[in-house]
Amino acid sequence: EIVLTQSPATLSLSPGERATLSCRASQSFSSSLDWYQQKPGQAPRLLIYEASKRAAGIPARFSGSGSGTDFTLTISSLEPEDSAVYYCQHRSDWLTFGGGTKLEIK
Partner 1 sequence: QLQLQESGPGLVRPSETLSLTCTVSGDSITRYPYYWGWVRQPPGKGLEWIGSLSYNGNTYYNPSLKSRVTILVDTSKNQFSLKLTSVTAADTAMYYCARHATNGCYAGFRCPLDYWGQGTLVTVSS
Residue from 21, 82, 100, 105 in contact with partner 1 (CB under 8 A): 100
Minimum distance, C-beta of residue 11 to partner 1, in the bound complex (Å): 16
Confirm or reject binding of residue 34 to partner 1 (CB under 8 A): yes
In the bound state with partner 1, the residue whose beta carbon lies nearer, of 43 and 60, is: 43
Confirm or reject binding of residue 89 to partner 1 (CB under 8 A): yes
Using an 8 Å Cβ cutoff, are 35 and 64 in contact? yes
Size, binding site for partner 1 by CB under 8 A: 24
Q: What are phi and psi of 82, to 5 degrees?
A: -85, -5
Residues contacting residue 59 through CB under 8 Å, at least 6 positions apart: none
In the bound state with partner 1, the residue whose beta carbon lies nearer, of 7 and 77, is: 7
Q: How many CB atoms neighbour CB 69 within 10 A?
A: 15
Confirm or reject binding of residue 29 to partner 1 (CB under 8 A): no
Confirm or reject binding of residue 10 to partner 1 (CB under 8 A): no
User: Is the omega angle on the peptide bond into residue 40 within 30 degrees of 0, that is, cis?
Assistant: no
Using an 8 Å Cβ cutoff, are 13 and 19 in contact? yes
Helix residue ranges, H only, 1-106: none
Binding site for partner 1 (CB under 8 A): 32, 34, 36, 42-46, 49-50, 53, 55-56, 87, 89, 91-92, 94-100
